[in-house]
Amino acid sequence: MADPENAQEFTALYAEYHPRVYAYAVARAGRPHADEVVADTFLVAWRRFGSMPGGAALPWLLGVARNVIRERYRDEERQRALAAEMLAWADDTPDVADSVAERSAILAALARLSENDREVLTLTAWDGLSARAAARVVNCSTATFLVRLHRARTRLERAVAAAGEPTTPQPALVKPVVIKEPSR
C-alpha cells in the first residue's frame, strides 16, 4: 500500500475525476458496465500513481478507461468467437440430437470452469497454439502449462459428466492438432 500522503493525493484525484471518468464509461460502454470500467481504471491509476503525468491526469485516466473498454470488448469478442466455433464444431457431428445435447453440455461445463481453465483450453484447442506458445501467453513454463492443461481437460470432462452427458473425448478438447500447409 502507498504511504498516507499518496493515499490522500489519490483520494483527491479520485474525487475530482471520478464523475468525468464515469460519464466517459457510460457513454462508451453503457451504464451496466460503467462501474466496472471506472473501478478498473482507478485500479490502474492507483498502481501507477507515481508515474502519472503531472498536469494531464484527466486525459491519462480517459486513455486508461478507453483501454479497459477495448480489452473488455476484445474479451467479449473472443467469447463470441469461441461460442461460434463451438457451435460450428458441434454442427459437424452427424447426429443432430446428440450434437445439440453434447454442445449444450460442453458449453455449460466450459462456463462452469474457472477463467484460467477456459483460457488454457481455448489457447490450445481453439487458438491452435502449441503448449510452448500458450505458456508464453500465460507467463509460465511449458511444463507448468502442460500440467494446467491436463487438469483443465480433466475438470472439463468431469463437469460434462456431472451434467449427465457422456464423456466421450472430443478431438478439439483432448489433443489440439496444428495443421501446417506444405511449403510451395
Q: Residue 138 sits in which domain range?
A: 93-174
- Round to the nearest angstrom and report the end-to-end CA distance of the chain: 58
Total domains in the fold of the chain: 2
Q: Residue 79 falls within a domain, yes or no?
A: no
Q: Residue 130 falls within a domain, yes or no?
A: yes
Q: Residue 182 falls within a domain, yes or no?
A: no
How large is the average pLDDT for residues 94-102? 63
106 and 143 share a domain?
yes
How large is the average pLDDT for residues 138-162? 91
Query: pLDDT tens for residues 12-61?
Result: 999 999 999 999 999 998 998 999 999 999 999 999 888 887 778 889 99
162 and 108 share a domain?
yes
Query: pLDDT tens for residues 163-172?
Result: 775 545 544 4
Find the CATH number of the domain harbouring 151: 1.10.10.10
Final residue of a structural domain among 12, 45, 74: 74
Give me the DSSP letters along 24-60. HHHHHH-HHHHHHHHHHHHHHHHHTGGGS-SS-HHHH
Q: Residue 183 falls within a domain, yes or no?
A: no
